[in-house]
């Protein structure tokens, strides 16, 4: 492992790769600092920029956008109480309260340091845990691949609120992926005799529309013209008391974020919420939470950054995206001709270990950028969002066109933007749709191969020990959210009867 990691650093420290890691982190900071956009939307919008790059360079840059965007959202959370995405909600609660007390610099500083320490710890865990998981994954065949992909879709779908809405979004993603021509028989399906649909729906317009354009449209409704709180470089220093309060908060938040990030579908928002609630229980002054608790900010920020790195473990070792951001990273691998899965670490070891090493380098860049340049990034927030929104939409559509050089991609992006906006309005989670779209090809191919191996018998999924365990996990992923929803509904009905 040490030899492979040294090889990864040799790859990451090449001048071209260093430049694109820095560019990715910087773009992630800017995208994350713009209210309404988050890491996944930023990665989707900037994915076309990676075309023409070497696969390892492209993945390093996109990964930089992923964890750079996590901290960029901290600026909006602290200074104007508008989280860049859901994972910044808990930071906005106490971070903005600190800013109103004149401690915006301290909130931004502990966020940067906590994110750095938790990120380094999580990347170390990626280097330690990904190889053994990948070795285990080499025992997989078609039945296991199908169930693993299905489990990935169900896992992220089960945490999106309503299980029915999550399942509907996943089914919609699978339907979109099936549009085009059957890869085995060559017959059209779901194309409705439209030549435009015969070639299928590309991933680029879907992700740009559903995440990027939809977020901008939704943000225009909720962003108010609030003047951000200014911060200065001299306000970034932390006191010894701040360190004493926060050092264990960073450790606890990092550990929680790592384990939540490894769980496919859990995501940074759940990690930050769990870390915040845990820290409140451990705190000597829980009454300060919600009123400017610096340890609450440290725990939440450490957790969401650790979770964004931890999500790379199932992606690199098993080919299961652990979050919406890693789903886009997975799609980028596919677009660059690399098939993800357990073989990735052996067939593309330079890319995998280069990516892991680039995360170490990128986190150092983040720390260097955030401590002295946080006031500069905060200046972006003084631009009214009504002026930023047309620019973001323009960049989105130009990126969609540049990806295929086909004007139909632009129209598709707009259509999926409206679809994503409707999903936001109706409370339908979007990550299950994107994950289903990414994993549909693997699911379909593996299912067909498994049934061919068994001459059409579904017993192949029970006869193999690993596939039988995965089938049980799939069943639990379907049943548990339904049982939870039924239990919550019955509890709500009992409360209503008690109130009467």
Going from the C-alpha of 406 to that of each of 201, 335, 400, 412, 413, the distances in angstroms are 13, 17, 9, 10, 12
Closest CA to 28 of 355, 386, 362, 324: 362
pLDDT tens string for the chain (500 positions)? 778 788 888 888 888 889 999 998 888 887 776 655 667 777 877 777 777 788 888 888 888 888 887 777 777 677 766 565 666 767 777 887 887 777 777 788 888 888 888 888 888 887 887 777 666 655 667 787 788 778 767 765 554 557 778 778 888 888 888 888 877 777 888 777 777 777 778 777 887 788 778 877 877 776 554 455 555 656 667 777 877 778 888 888 888 888 777 765 556 766 777 788 788 888 777 777 777 788 888 888 888 888 877 877 777 777 777 667 777 787 788 777 787 776 777 777 788 888 888 888 888 888 887 777 666 655 555 666 677 678 777 767 776 776 667 788 888 888 888 998 898 888 887 767 877 787 787 788 888 888 888 887 888 888 888 888 888 888 887 777 677 777 777 877 777 776 66
Kindly report the pTM of this predicted structure: 0.63
Token duo for residue 462 = 């029970």
Q: Which residue has the tokens 């309404």?
A: 36
Are 80 and 383 within 8 A, CB to CB?
Answer: no
- Domain spans, the chain: 2-174+235-402, 464-500
Token duo for residue 449 = 């191969």
């Amino acid at each position: 492992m040490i030899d492979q990691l040294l090889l990864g650093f040799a790859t990451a420290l090449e001048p071209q790769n260093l430049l694109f890691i820095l560019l990715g982190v910087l773009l992630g900071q800017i995208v994350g600092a713009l209210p309404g956009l988050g890491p996944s939307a930023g990665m989707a919008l900037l994915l076309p920029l990676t075309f023409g790059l070497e696969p390892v360079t492209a993945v390093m840059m996109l990964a930089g956008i992923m964890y750079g965007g996590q901290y960029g959202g901290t600026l909006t959370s602290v200074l104007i109480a508008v989280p860049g995405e859901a994972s910044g909600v808990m930071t906005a609660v106490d971070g903005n309260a600190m800013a109103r007390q004149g401690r915006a610099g301290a909130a931004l500083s502990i966020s940067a340091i906590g994110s750095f320490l938790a990120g380094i710890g999580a990347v170390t865990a990626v280097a330690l845990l990904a190889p053994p998981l990948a070795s285990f994954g080499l025992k997989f065949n078609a039945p296991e691949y199908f169930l693993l992909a299905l489990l990935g879709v169900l896992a992220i779908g089960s945490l999106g609120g309503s299980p029915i809405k999550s399942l509907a979004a996943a089914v919609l993603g699978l339907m979109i992926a099936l549009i085009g021509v059957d890869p085995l028989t060559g017959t059209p399906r779901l194309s409705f005799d439209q030549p435009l649909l015969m070639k299928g729906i590309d991933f680029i317009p879907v992700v740009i529309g559903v995440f990027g354009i939809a977020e901008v449209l939704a943000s225009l409704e909720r962003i108010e013209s609030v003047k951000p709180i200014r911060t200065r470089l001299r306000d970034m220093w932390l006191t010894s008391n701040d360190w004493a309060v926060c050092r264990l908060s960073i450790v606890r938040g990092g550990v929680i974020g790592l384990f939540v990030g490894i769980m496919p579908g859990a995501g940074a928002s759940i990690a930050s919420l769990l870390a915040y609630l845990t820290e409140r229980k451990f705190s000597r002054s829980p009454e300060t939470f919600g009123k400017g608790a610096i340890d609450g900010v440290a725990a939440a920020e450490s957790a969401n950054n650790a979770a964004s790195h931890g999500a790379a473990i199932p992606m690199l070792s098993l080919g299961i995206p652990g979050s919406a951001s890693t789903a886009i990273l997975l799609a980028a691998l596919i677009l660059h001709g690399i098939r993800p899965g357990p073989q990735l670490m052996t067939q593309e070891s330079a890319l995998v270990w280069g990516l892991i090493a680039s995360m170490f380098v990128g986190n150092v860049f983040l720390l260097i950028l955030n401590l002295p340049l946080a006031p500069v990034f905060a200046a972006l927030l003084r631009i009214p969002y009504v002026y930023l929104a047309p620019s973001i939409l323009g960049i989105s559509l130009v990126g969609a066109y540049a990806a295929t050089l086909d004007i139909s991609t632009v129209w598709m992006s707009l259509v999926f933007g409206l679809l994503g906006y409707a999903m936001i309005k109706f409370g339908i989670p979007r990550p299950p749709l994107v994950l289903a779209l990414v994993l549909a090809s693997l699911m379909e191919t593996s299912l067909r191969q498994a049934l061919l191996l068994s001459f059409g018998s579904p017993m192949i999924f029970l006869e193999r020990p690993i596939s039988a365990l995965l089938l049980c996990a799939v069943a639990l992923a379907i049943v548990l959210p339904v049982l939870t929803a039924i239990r919550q509904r019955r509890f709500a009905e009992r409360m209503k009867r008690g109130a009467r």
